[in-house]
């Protein structure tokens, strides 16, 4: 049976989920391969759209053989859907998913006309705790950036804990290691404690196919690890 939460993939990728919903969905996709695949299929869409100027965006969906007013019809439908969303908030997620799907179809139709090479699919996965007692979880995603390296997105959450646990913050570091066994490199650090949740983007000079593993460290101690 198809997972009913795959419809939230578009909302998650486009940043339309509320913080609590985003956290819940990240916990869900850590255990649901179907939803992880749905997110992976759409994860590169925001970056691709960000590379388009206004003229290029207007040309999407009008390759040879396509209906002349295809893009206008889709945009008109989206605007009408947005009007209904203002009246009924429960339709908001459906609109986001519909918009993402339409844009994906149009971009797919216009890629050849715009001579934009198809980008490799992004990689998405849940980082594995080194110890079962770790209160930290993280979801990592990465894909090729325009400079030939790798753009990385990390969503990290620290368990709320209880009154008997320490509330002291810890400083965590994200490290990346190449496949050839060379030296690792620290990419970013952040302070986290009970109840902490955040998402950030960093870059690596390594290409996605050159990455051997990622680590989240507390000082010299490896807390989480992910191998492609």
What's residue 30's pLDDT?
A: 81
* Architecture category of domain 123-226 in CATH: Sandwich (2.60)
**What tokens does 225 get?**
């690890």
Question: From first to last of its 228 residues, what are the pLDDT tens digits of the chain?
Answer: 677 777 777 777 767 677 778 788 788 888 888 888 777 777 665 555 555 555 555 554 444 444 555 455 555 554 565 555 455 544 445 545 555 555 555 555 554 445 555 566 788 889 999 887 778 889 999 999 888 899 999 999 988 765 445 567 889 999 999 998 889 999 999 998 888 888 989 999 999 999 999 999 999 999 999 998
Helices (H), the chain: 9-13, 19-29, 33-43, 45-50, 54-59, 70-87, 92-114
Domain spans, the chain: 4-114, 123-226
- Look at residue 150 in the predicted model and tell me its pLDDT: 94
Domain 4-114 = CATH 3.40.50.12280: no
> DSSP characters for 142-174?
EEE-TTSSEEEEEEEEE----TTS----EEEEE
């Amino acid at each position: 049976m198809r997972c009913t939460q795959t419809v939230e993939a578009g909302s998650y990728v486009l940043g339309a989920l509320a913080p609590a919903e985003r956290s819940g969905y990240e916990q869900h996709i850590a255990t649901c391969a179907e939803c992880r695949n749905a997110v992976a299929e759409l994860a590169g869409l925001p970056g691709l759209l960000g590379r388009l100027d206004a003229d290029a965006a207007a040309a999407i969906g009008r390759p040879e053989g396509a209906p002349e007013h295809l893009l206008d019809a889709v945009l008109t439908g989206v605007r009408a859907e947005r009007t209904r969303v203002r009246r009924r908030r429960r339709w908001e997620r459906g609109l986001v998913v519909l918009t993402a799907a339409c844009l994906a179809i149009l971009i797919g139709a216009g890629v050849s006309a715009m001579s934009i090479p198809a980008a490799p699919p992004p990689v998405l996965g849940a980082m594995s705790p080194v110890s079962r007692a770790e209160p930290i979880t993280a979801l990592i995603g990465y894909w090729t950036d325009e400079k030939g390296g790798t753009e990385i997105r990390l969503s990290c959450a620290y368990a709320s804990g209880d009154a008997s646990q320490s509330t002291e913050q810890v400083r965590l570091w994200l490290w990346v290691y190449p496949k050839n066994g060379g030296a690792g490199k620290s990419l970013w650090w952040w302070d986290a404690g009970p109840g902490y949740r955040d998402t950030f983007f960093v870059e690596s000079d390594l290409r996605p196919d050159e990455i051997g593993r990622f680590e989240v460290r507390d000082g010299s101690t490896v807390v989480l690890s992910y191998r492609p």
